[in-house]
């Protein structure tokens, strides 16, 4: 028994209905031309539709995929910006930002041997520029409240580095060699992920989630 459908319902996918030969055989007689096919409606009304080539079908599918990918890309950019704004509300480059950094807890550094002083000999030769920049930078940090004068018996040497990043920003970076100091303390460290690391992993999650969504829609 052959069942003839009077009406064809199609989910609005933004693409045209593709009719195959098996479908057409059920609706004979039909007239096939080079670019069109004419079907006779039960009410004797003639309906003519275009013949879409394989190349045109692939073009339509590619265009739809491109539109979906573009929508996903826009969504990811918007989500990334939203996350960036949320991070900006609670994070700051200034460790003493009174509006964001509200943690006033003092951190205790425990020594493995409290009776032993940790002093690293400073054999680094300084020039006039080094001395001037040390003085300028330490005064700035003192005024900001980031550091304070100490009577601690422990000491570590400081020096300036001038690598690619420092040359790019046109400012040398002061480094303190805490290696010996770290070896003398009880380890209590844990890694803090950088903001870019968090955003990269969130973006990856959004991409996978969007891809899964497309598969669900397709299925």
Least confident span in 9-13, 127-131, 192-196? 9-13
Does residue 135 or residue 16 have the better pLDDT? 135
Candidates 119, 109, 114, 112; CA nearest to 189 is 109
Judged against a pLDDT cut of 70, whether residue 135 lies above it is answered with yes
Which H/E stretch holds residue 160? strand 158-161
CB burial of 90-115 (b: ≥16 within 10 Å; e: otherwise) equals eeeeeeeeeeeeeeeeeeeeeeeeee
Give the pLDDT score at 138.
Answer: 92
Whole-number Å distance between alpha carbons of 40 and 31: 9
pLDDT in tens, 70-119: 888 888 888 888 888 887 887 777 777 777 777 667 778 888 988 888 88
Give the pLDDT score at 41.
Answer: 63
Give the pLDDT score at 133.
Answer: 92
Distance from the first to the final alpha carbon of the chain: 30
Q: What is the pTM of this model?
A: 0.42
What does residue 176 show for φ and ψ, rounded to 5 degrees?
-115, 130
pLDDT in tens, 138-179: 999 898 888 888 888 888 889 998 888 888 888 888 899 888
Whole-number Å distance between alpha carbons of 140 and 149: 13
Sheet of 30-32, strand order: 30-32, 36-40, 46-50
Tokens representing 126?
């300084």
Q: Are the beta carbons of 176 and 110 closer than 8 angstroms?
A: no
pLDDT in tens, 8-61: 555 555 556 666 777 777 766 777 777 777 776 666 666 676 666 777 778 878
Give the pLDDT score at 6.
Answer: 56
Judged against a pLDDT cut of 70, whether residue 211 lies above it is answered with no
Give the pLDDT score at 193.
Answer: 78
């Amino acid at each position: 028994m052959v069942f003839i459908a009077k009406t064809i319902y199609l989910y609005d996918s933004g693409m045209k209905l593709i009719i195959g030969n098996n479908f057409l055989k059920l609706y004979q007689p039909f007239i096939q031309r080079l670019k069109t096919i004419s079907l006779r409606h039960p009410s004797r009304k003639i309906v003519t539709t275009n013949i879409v080539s394989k190349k045109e079908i692939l073009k339509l599918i590619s265009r739809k995929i491109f539109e979906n990918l573009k929508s996903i890309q826009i969504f990811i950019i918007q989500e990334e910006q939203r996350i960036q704004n949320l991070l900006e509300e609670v994070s700051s480059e200034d460790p003493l930002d009174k509006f964001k950094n509200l943690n006033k807890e003092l951190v205790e550094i425990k020594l493995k041997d409290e009776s032993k002083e940790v002093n690293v000999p400073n054999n680094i030769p300084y020039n006039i520029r080094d001395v001037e920049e040390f003085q300028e930078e330490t005064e700035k940090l003192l005024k900001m409240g980031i550091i304070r004068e100490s009577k601690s018996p422990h000491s570590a040497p400081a020096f300036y580095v001038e690598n690619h990043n420092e040359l790019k920003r046109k400012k040398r970076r002061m480094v303190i060699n805490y290696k010996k100091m770290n070896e003398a303390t009880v380890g209590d460290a844990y890694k803090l992920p950088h903001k870019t690391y968090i955003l990269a992993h969130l973006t990856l999650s959004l991409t996978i989630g969007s891809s899964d969504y497309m598969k669900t829609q397709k299925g």
